[in-house]
Chain A
Amino acid sequence: MKASNFDPLSQDIFAKQLKIAVIFVLAVFGILVLRLWFLQIVGGPTYRARSENNRIRLQSMAPFRGVIRDSSGKILVDNRPSYDLYVIPEDIHDAEDLLGRLALLGNLDMGPIREKISRSDNGYPFKPVCLEKDISREKLAMLETRRFDLPGVMIEVSPQRHYFFGDLAAHVLGYLGEISEKQLKSGEFPHNKSGDLIGKTGIERSWQHALNGGRGGEQVEVDAAGRRIKVISRKPPVSGADVSLTINRELQMLAEKALDGKHGAVVAMDPRNGQILALASSPSYDPNLFITGFDAATWKNMVSSTDYPLHNRALTGQYPPGSVFKIVVALAGLQEGVITPHETLYCNGQYSLGRGKYRCWKRWGHGSVNLHKALVESCDIYFYHLGLRLGVDRIAHYAHQLGLGRKTGLNLGHEKGGLIPTAEWKLKRWGVPWQGGETVSTSIGQSFVLVTPLQVATFVSAVFNGGHVYRPQVTRWVRKPGGESIFEFTPQLIGDVKIKPEYLELVKYALSGAVNHPRGTGSKARLADIKVAGKTGTAQVVNLKKEKDAKAKGEVPWKYRDHAWFVAVAPVDAPRITVAVLVEHGGHGGSAAAPIAKTLIEAYLRLPVD
């Protein structure tokens, strides 16, 4: 073996090179430690937060929305389980095979499903993908029995709003809709997130905050694939408060049945405190459809047809009150002293003012008429005189006192205020002075006068309860699940009528006669054992000439027919219910609307008192 010991010279160079190498190594290790120091100390807190963020997912838990009940505690709106079909992409062995099997189960739309599954491939394969919400019982049964053939398929249960009686009281209850971007940003819905359903109309909307409840959440630890490892902490959701309505379910059903096939509204109210007992608007809709979804035709019909099923006619429908307005004019005349109860005027069936000719509905006239007879038989001529003696502004003054011409403030939203004209209003609105002939038609509730069925029920209630105008209310109480009260009903006065009690009594007596007198116009509302008071009204839709022309051609087209009004109170001596009925294009109030009021009064007063 050859000796190959270091040549001293080259060993020297080598030793110097090694020294440089040592410095280099130390420098590089210094950089590495610096890098680690930078990551772990400088960036440490940030990276710690990011690692927590990685592993902890917040899964929010939606609360149960509060239940809505009727006045006797019967459930009107509840939450029912919705069975939702999910797949976990990671657990699918053969996507095409699974899709094939699912297709056999019925009308699942395969296109979007395939897309949903493939889209979820990247990211979190353990995160369930929802294929279809609220599957039918039949599909559920089939899926459950074939569970073993369907790896990766999962059924999750979620609460879904359920309107027990379909369209019953739909306009009072309202419907739900997805929260809008604007609402989310407004900060008024702290417990809602994108995609949540919130109340859009009715009670669902006005008590949204109470009904909604508080969102809960879970902190769960997940692994990189999104699989849940464990629950770290949990804050259970707080169920929403329950709402009890003043609505009586039986009465509501009757009201809707009576309106079935017609266009119109019914408001039944307790005249002693303003509680709404029934509030129906026809045609109606099923709020469940807003949850499960519409087919295109149904939706189109709902928003674009002239039926306007979404409109709550009781609150937003503004109609001329017709003869119902005579109650106001009569009270105004008595209180203003322009007429005495005994003064008689002569009705020969027609009345002339300037060049205008005004007719009574009874062509050959009522003959000698006093106030009582004028209300019982609804004589127009009497009220023309009375109206002219009062002038439009004094009529308006009393109409306002009775709550007409402004919103009642019923807590359902979207209310209309109607219109009570004054001379000043006419000048301002049309730039033309008030005409005497307009006073004539105003005194029988025509010309510009507009009221809602709700207003009619409210003001007639005031006439019968001694002059107290109560705000109509539909909520009896709102209570949290624990029983803590958020709201309890108390009557709210929105006006007091300054009319002598004896004048109110006179009018009440006359309205009783309108139902019970043989020649009363509201005889169709008469009941054998209960004393009912009431007033008919027939509101012209088009002017008389047009109507006459139409009549001459035979049948009057539906849309030209008069609106029929009837408002009734019973029992006269101790009133417990006021019913206002409006049937659009129903013809005469006495024949089209009065029987509906009668049915409701009879049913309600026979119910056990609660």
Chain B
Amino acid sequence: MLDRRLIQNFDWVLLLLLLLLAGISILNLYSATYAIRDVGGSRIVMKQFYWFMIGFSVLLVMITFNYYYLERLAYPAYFFTVALLIVVLLVGKVMSGSQRWLSLGPLVFQPSELAKISMVLVLAKFFNDRDSAEEYRLRDLWQPFILILVPCGLILKEPDLGTALFLGMVSFSMILIVKVNRKSLLIFLGCCLLAAPVIWFGMKDYQQRRILTFLSPDTEPLGAGYHINQSKIAIGSGQFWGKGYLQGTQTRLHFLPEQHTDFAFSVLAEEWGLVGVTALLLLYLFLILWGLNIAKGSKDRFGAILAVGIVAIVFWQVVINVGMVTGLLPVVGIPLLLFSYGGSSLISTMAAMGLLMNISMRRFMFQ
């Protein structure tokens, strides 16, 4: 299956970007866990290293087959995911108030991670099947709306507002890319605005509090606002050059919450300053633009839309996470992909990256 042309077309740029991100991630993770290295900190770094190894293996597996076969698997994968999301609501593990994890022997994973890929796949398939040179109207879009709402609703029920919104953003981005009639779009956005109060009152107390806290973080300096304030202090105190590697006081003295997961970006900002975070953001930007370039070069519509979906995953995770830790967005618990600690998210991200590379490698091939 892997012929010579595939090797020739191997996307070294993408691989280099991923390796760079992985390297910075491990380096930053070492610093984030430095203060607790005697009580499990070093184990966290090693675990993340192994996760990256597994991730790169998954990536390699993902390029072995022609992504076009996935078109046939799109719906089965989607329904399988929805089934898992229902199962997790029934028998999932409850951690810190929400039911997001499924245990598979010693492994624990989040079906919502799988949902990202399935969603992208199923939407790519849908828009490929209904290729139209014309703009999509609302009546053309009722099927994808249902496809989106089911998993989003299930994830919201866990409850995991952040992931549900994130999944919605990714799907919405994919719909926008295939060109929707402007009037239909305005009607849709109007409906969303009307739905906002309904969503607000449907939210759990802690979710409402988070949003209120986001709107005015100083009302609760020791409560929910504490995290975001400490994160802003960590980032701001990094100034231009940063405090130096392993020298971040906010990190080392535990003022910064969740420093190896959701707030890993703040650790980098504190220790490497504006220089460091701009470099990291440039890497992500380059990854996104490179992904869009892959989409543009794709020889078929399915691959192109699939690539856009994967890029949307990267884009929205970066925006939501960085927006959240800098106080631009509410704290919704979205980790920074390829950067925050966490196996489940890393594996699904690497699988998505594998698909992107798969599309990239096969852009010159004709069946």
Interface residues of A (CB under 8 A from B): 1, 3-7, 9-11, 13-15, 17-18, 21-22, 25-26, 28-29, 31-33, 35-37, 39-41, 43-48, 50-52, 54-55, 122-123, 221-225, 229
Q: Give CA–CA (A44, B222) in the complex, Å.
A: 22
Please determine whether A13 and B249 come into contact, CB atoms closer than 8 angstroms: no
| CB neighbours of B281 from chain A (8 A) | 29, 32-33, 36
Min CB–CB distance B129 → chain A (angstroms): 10
B255 within 8 A of A: yes
Chain B, interface residues (CB within 8 Å), range: 35 or more
Q: Mark B302-319, 1 if CB is under 8 A from A, else 0.
A: 101000100000010001
Please determine whether A21 and B292 come into contact, CB atoms closer than 8 angstroms: yes
| CB neighbours of B326 from chain A (8 A) | 32, 35-36, 39
Among B74-82, B152-160, B235-243, B351-359, the stretch that binds chain A is B235-243
Q: List 11 A-B contacts (CB under 8 A).
A: A17-B176, A17-B179, A21-B308, A31-B328, A36-B281, A39-B326, A47-B232, A48-B239, A55-B250, A55-B253, A223-B253
The residues in B between 253 and 277 inclusive whose CB is less than 8 angstroms from any CB of A are 253-255, 269-270, 273-274, 277
The residues in B between 36 and 75 inclusive whose CB is less than 8 angstroms from any CB of A are 68
Measured CB to CB, the nearest residue on chain A to B257 is A224
B278 within 8 A of A: yes
| CB neighbours of B133 from chain A (8 A) | 7, 9-10, 13
| CB neighbours of A229 from chain B (8 A) | 253
Measured CB to CB, the nearest residue on chain B to A122 is B222
Please determine whether A51 and B304 come into contact, CB atoms closer than 8 angstroms: no
| CB neighbours of B328 from chain A (8 A) | 31-32, 35
| CB neighbours of B177 from chain A (8 A) | 14, 17-18, 21
Q: Give CA–CA (A5, B362) in the complex, Å.
A: 12
B189 within 8 A of A: no
Measured CB to CB, the nearest residue on chain A to B288 is A25
Please determine whether B274 and A36 come into contact, CB atoms closer than 8 angstroms: yes
Please determine whether B176 and A36 come into contact, CB atoms closer than 8 angstroms: no
Please determine whether B235 and A32 come into contact, CB atoms closer than 8 angstroms: no
Q: Give CA–CA (A15, B278) in the complex, Å.
A: 28
Min CB–CB distance B356 → chain A (angstroms): 15
Please determine whether A5 and B299 come into contact, CB atoms closer than 8 angstroms: yes
Please determine whether A36 and B300 come into contact, CB atoms closer than 8 angstroms: no
The residues in B between 283 and 340 inclusive whose CB is less than 8 angstroms from any CB of A are 284-285, 288-289, 292, 295-296, 298-302, 304, 308, 315, 319, 322-323, 326-328
Q: Give CA–CA (A229, B255) in the complex, Å.
A: 13
Min CB–CB distance B330 → chain A (angstroms): 15
Q: Give CA–CA (A28, B289) in the complex, Å.
A: 13
> With A29-B285, A32-B322 given, is the CB distance from A54 to B249 under 8 Å?
yes
- CB < 8 Å: which of A18, A25, A37, A48 contacts B274? A37
Measured CB to CB, the nearest residue on chain A to B319 is A28
Min CB–CB distance B170 → chain A (angstroms): 13
Please determine whether B236 and A47 come into contact, CB atoms closer than 8 angstroms: yes
Please determine whether B292 and A13 come into contact, CB atoms closer than 8 angstroms: no
Please determine whether B254 and A40 come into contact, CB atoms closer than 8 angstroms: no
Measured CB to CB, the nearest residue on chain B to A225 is B254
Q: Give CA–CA (A45, B222) in the complex, Å.
A: 22
Please determine whether A43 and B131 come into contact, CB atoms closer than 8 angstroms: no
Most chain B CB within 10 A, of A5, A10, A26, A123, is at A10
| CB neighbours of A47 from chain B (8 A) | 232-233, 235-237, 239
Please determine whether B235 and A36 come into contact, CB atoms closer than 8 angstroms: yes
Please determine whether B277 and A36 come into contact, CB atoms closer than 8 angstroms: yes
Please determine whether B236 and A224 come into contact, CB atoms closer than 8 angstroms: no
Beyond A7-B131, A29-B281, A35-B326, 17 extra complex contacts between A and B, CB < 8 Å:
A9-B133, A14-B177, A18-B308, A21-B308, A32-B326, A33-B278, A36-B235, A36-B269, A39-B232, A39-B235, A40-B239, A40-B277, A44-B238, A47-B233, A51-B234, A51-B236, A54-B230
Please determine whether B302 and A54 come into contact, CB atoms closer than 8 angstroms: no
Min CB–CB distance A234 → chain B (angstroms): 19
Measured CB to CB, the nearest residue on chain B to A40 is B274
Please determine whether B301 and A4 come into contact, CB atoms closer than 8 angstroms: yes
Min CB–CB distance A56 → chain B (angstroms): 9
Please determine whether A55 and B249 come into contact, CB atoms closer than 8 angstroms: yes
Measured CB to CB, the nearest residue on chain B to A46 is B236
| CB neighbours of B253 from chain A (8 A) | 54-55, 221-224, 229
Please determine whether B239 and A41 come into contact, CB atoms closer than 8 angstroms: yes
Q: Give CA–CA (A229, B254) in the complex, Å.
A: 12
Please determine whether A32 and B367 come into contact, CB atoms closer than 8 angstroms: no
Q: Give CA–CA (A426, B2) in the complex, Å.
A: 126
Please determine whether B131 and A25 come into contact, CB atoms closer than 8 angstroms: no
| CB neighbours of B366 from chain A (8 A) | 5
Min CB–CB distance A360 → chain B (angstroms): 84
Q: Give CA–CA (A154, B108) in the complex, Å.
A: 43
Most chain B CB within 10 A, of A7, A15, A40, is at A40
Q: Give CA–CA (A222, B133) in the complex, Å.
A: 64
Please determine whether B236 and A44 come into contact, CB atoms closer than 8 angstroms: yes
Min CB–CB distance A84 → chain B (angstroms): 27
Q: Give CA–CA (A15, B298) in the complex, Å.
A: 11
Q: Give CA–CA (A549, B173) in the complex, Å.
A: 113
B9 within 8 A of A: no
Which 9 A/B pairs are nearest by Cβ-Cβ distance? A47-B236, A51-B237, A44-B239, A223-B253, A224-B254, A9-B133, A39-B236, A48-B237, A47-B237
Please determine whether A25 and B315 come into contact, CB atoms closer than 8 angstroms: yes
Please determine whether A41 and B240 come into contact, CB atoms closer than 8 angstroms: yes
Q: Give CA–CA (A44, B274) in the complex, Å.
A: 10
